[in-house]
Amino acid sequence: MYILKIKGKAKIPDYVQLRADDFTLKAYVRLDRPEKGFEKCGLADRIPELMQLLSELDFGVVHKID
């Protein structure tokens, strides 16, 4: 799985994309409330790990997660 942090423009907020190994979109989560989005897509058990990664990740960088 891959994670990508995207910077929004104007009225579009910052967001996070979670993509499968074949790069199909699995989740599209707003960065101002990612916990809610991660719970919706079934990643509630990985929220602390993902939140830590998001705080360290730069915008526009694709990062592989296991």
pLDDT band at 31 (very low <50, low <70, confident <90, very high): confident
Determine the residue type at 51: M
The predicted pLDDT at position 15 comes to 93
**pLDDT score, position 10:** 86
Q: Is the pLDDT of residue 64 over 90?
A: yes
SS3 content of the chain, % helix, strand, coil (to 5): 30, 30, 40
What distance lies between CA 13 and its chain's CA centroid? 13
Nearest to residue 31, comparing CAs of 4, 49, 10, 1?
Answer: 4
d(C-alpha 66, C-alpha 55), whole Å: 18
Per the listing, tokens 């939140």 go with 51
**Predicted local distance difference test score (pLDDT) of residue 41:** 82
* pLDDT of the residue at 19: 92
pTM beyond 0.85: no
Amino acid identity, residue 21?
D
Q: pLDDT at residue 24 above 90?
A: yes
